[in-house]
Structure 1
Amino acid sequence: MPLSFPIIDPVAISIGPFAIRWYALAYVAGLLGGWFYAKRLAAKAELWGGLKQPKPIDVDDLIVWVALGVVLGGRIGYVLFYNLSSYLSHPLEIFAIWRGGMSFHGGFLGSVLAIVLFSRSRGLNPLAMLDMASVVTPIGLFFGRIANFINGELWGRPAPDFPYAVVFPHAGPEPRHPSQLYEAFGEGLILFLIMAVAARRFGFRRPGLLGGIFVLGYAVARIVCEFFREPDAQLGFLFGSSVQALSGGITMGMLLSVPMALIGIGFIVMAMRGHTRPSRTAEAA
């Protein structure tokens, strides 16, 4: 028998017309968790290997930049990659963020741009700061995917024989993979542990290494989870037409993750060979 979807109100707190949704709380939890962890990482001199360490106030300010990058990049990415024709027909809907529609890949690019610009404005090493952000990002990914499950959105592909399949309230009568939880586990928990171990082992002494590990790890986790996730209704499968799990359908999430994996591998190779390490003259400056 499939599992019944737990009835959870998407609104966590409601006071009159004012409502706070679980999805918004997931963003807040991810940012606060990342902020707390980043401050601890920034304070450990042994992780930086002579590179300029960010001050506590730098981390505080960086969170604001990253939040703007995630929200703006995530929305723009969703509009461009997932539903462009609809938004061209109704351009004002682009600004209706409260109705949903965010892209991780867009949010990722937005946050990268924000971190690079911020780092240059403070005289910090951009790649090292991206490394620090990579270590804490899985916290937000974990809470975000849990919020997707609570909202009953981004559900999985049909899984009639899977013992832990779930019947989602807006996905028809078919039991489906709870792919949001798979992503919370893979993109969130497992990737968090990998990044924590890598940070302890390598620190930020090889700028770009941890960022490369994160980008590659996320891309692999996302591609694997996409085999269980129902593609976006407005796009469907880009290549292949099967809807069965572990079949040959290629989704937009898979397609966007391939260049991420290649970029991650490239940064890992360059960092391990020392190509991203600034010269002593640059470090002294």
Structure 2
Amino acid sequence: MYDFTAWWQHLPSQMNPVIFSVGSIAIRWYGTMYIVAFAIVYLLSRYRIANEKLPFDKTFPGDALTWAMGGVLIGGRLGYILFYGFEWFLLDPIGTLLPFNFGSGACAFSGISGMSFHGGLIGVAIAMWLFARKQQVDFLKTVDLFIPALPLGYTFGRLGNFINGELYGRVTTSAIGMYFPDAPTVELRHPSQLYEAFFEGIVLFVILWSIRKKAPWPGFLSGLYLIGYGTVRFFIEFFREPDAQLGFVFLNFSMGQVLCFIMIAVGVGIVLLSKQRAAKAGIAGGGKR
């Protein structure tokens, strides 16, 4: 038992965030997890279209997710700068925005450092709205197609954070804690990335996937996802170390908790407004679907 506990607690220091390198370019687990996440959402969405008689053709998920990828990257990075690193942006706008290092008179690829989930979510929402408008399809129906699969894909993103040794939790005396090499102190910390992967990912996926066919109106699944993710993330933030450059931004709440509170409110608003819209269209309450 002691051997397992020691292995578990020192696991972060045994993991290499780089899968392999080609010259100066490193292929990292974090970026690979993004690819895995999109692949899962794509395949499950294709499955839904084929087996649930949804009004989309088989090329629709690929086209929509191409737009979503752009939304994640742009929104995630801009969201991180706005919510967590605006002071860095003011000091070095170009270096903060571009994944290149221009030091010593040379240009080297430095990768994208810092992504915000909430920023990525906003980016995807905007991208999906633009895509739905271009395709002349209903925005809420489009988003609801992908929502049940989204948490499972998100699970792999958090596993990428764990392998990177980032977004670790607060100090704990529990045996479940781990030693993270990049943490400011050599103390056991909650593996909050794994908490998020399980509860925001697997648990939320099971809930949404199991009720996907019972959604009473378009927009219900989207609103429920925002409420569910925001609620779970809000409580997990009590175990996660606040960002060092921000600390607690409102009372004893972190920036993540403030954003999750807004996320929950938006989710409630979407459920209520989409229900009203569906009632006017004769969908809610057992009407024509």
Give the equivalent residue in structure 1 for 2:150.
Answer: 137
Give the TM-score normalised by the residue count of structure 2.
0.86
Mapped partners of 1:274, 1:45: distance in 2:
25
Mapped partners of 1:235, 1:108: distance in 2:
21
Counterpart residue identity of residue 210, structure 1: L
Counterpart residue identity of residue 233, structure 2: R
Residue 125 of structure 1, CA deviation: 1.0
Mapped partners of 1:165, 1:107: distance in 2:
29
Deviations 1:221-242 (A, max 9, x none): 11011000000011011134xx
Cα RMSD of the aligned pairs, angstroms, is: 1.8
Mapped partners of 1:277, 1:150: distance in 2:
46
1:234 paired residue among 241, 245, 248: 245
Secondary structure (helix, strand or coil) at the match of 2:182 reads coil
Give the equivalent residue in structure 1 for 2:98.
Answer: 95
Unaligned runs of 5+ in 2: 100-109, 283-289
Secondary structure (helix, strand or coil) at the match of 1:238 reads strand
Give the equivalent residue in structure 2 for 1:111.
Answer: 124
Give the equivalent residue in structure 2 for 1:152.
Answer: 165
CA contact (8 A) 1:215 1:264 kept: yes
1:165 paired residue among 177, 185, 191: 177
1:213 paired residue among 220, 224, 233: 224
Give the equivalent residue in structure 2 for 1:12.
Answer: 19
Mapped partners of 2:11, 2:278: distance in 1:
48
Mapped partners of 2:151, 2:77: distance in 1:
19
Deviations 1:170-207 (A, max 9, x none): 112111000000000111101111110120322xx611
Residue 279 of structure 1, CA deviation: 3.8
| C-alpha spacing 1:206/1:261, structure 2 compared with 1 (3 Å) | same
Give the equivalent residue in structure 1 for 2:272.
Answer: 269
Paired residues, number:
263
Counterpart residue identity of residue 125, structure 1: D
CA contact (8 A) 1:208 1:276 kept: no
| C-alpha spacing 1:99/1:111, structure 2 compared with 1 (3 Å) | closer
Mapped partners of 1:21, 1:36: distance in 2:
23
Q: 2:234 matched to 1:223?
A: yes
Residue 9 of structure 1, CA deviation: 1.0
Secondary structure (helix, strand or coil) at the match of 2:76 reads helix
CA contact (8 A) 1:10 1:22 kept: yes
Displacement over 6 Å in runs of 4+ = none
Mapped partners of 1:169, 1:122: distance in 2:
48
1:251 paired residue among 230, 251, 254: 254
User: How many percent identity over aligned positions?
Assistant: 38
Give the equivalent residue in structure 2 for 1:244.
Answer: none
Give the TM-score normalised by the residue count of structure 1.
0.87
Mapped partners of 2:20, 2:279: distance in 1:
48
Secondary structure (helix, strand or coil) at the match of 1:43 reads helix
Residue 268 of structure 1, CA deviation: 2.2
Give the equivalent residue in structure 2 for 1:37.
Answer: 44
Counterpart residue identity of residue 214, structure 1: Y
2:56 paired residue among 50, 54, 59: 54
Residue 57 of structure 1, CA deviation: 1.4
2:141 paired residue among 128, 137, 141: 128
CA contact (8 A) 1:206 1:274 kept: no
Secondary structure (helix, strand or coil) at the match of 2:26 reads strand
Give the equivalent residue in structure 1 for 2:263.
Answer: 260
Counterpart residue identity of residue 30, structure 1: A
| C-alpha spacing 1:43/1:13, structure 2 compared with 1 (3 Å) | same
| C-alpha spacing 1:8/1:278, structure 2 compared with 1 (3 Å) | farther
Counterpart residue identity of residue 150, structure 2: T
Mapped partners of 2:137, 2:144: distance in 1:
12
Residue 267 of structure 1, CA deviation: 2.1
Deviations 1:231-273 (A, max 9, x none): 0011011134xxxxxxxx21000000111101112222344x4
| C-alpha spacing 1:41/1:277, structure 2 compared with 1 (3 Å) | farther
Residue 16 of structure 1, CA deviation: 2.9
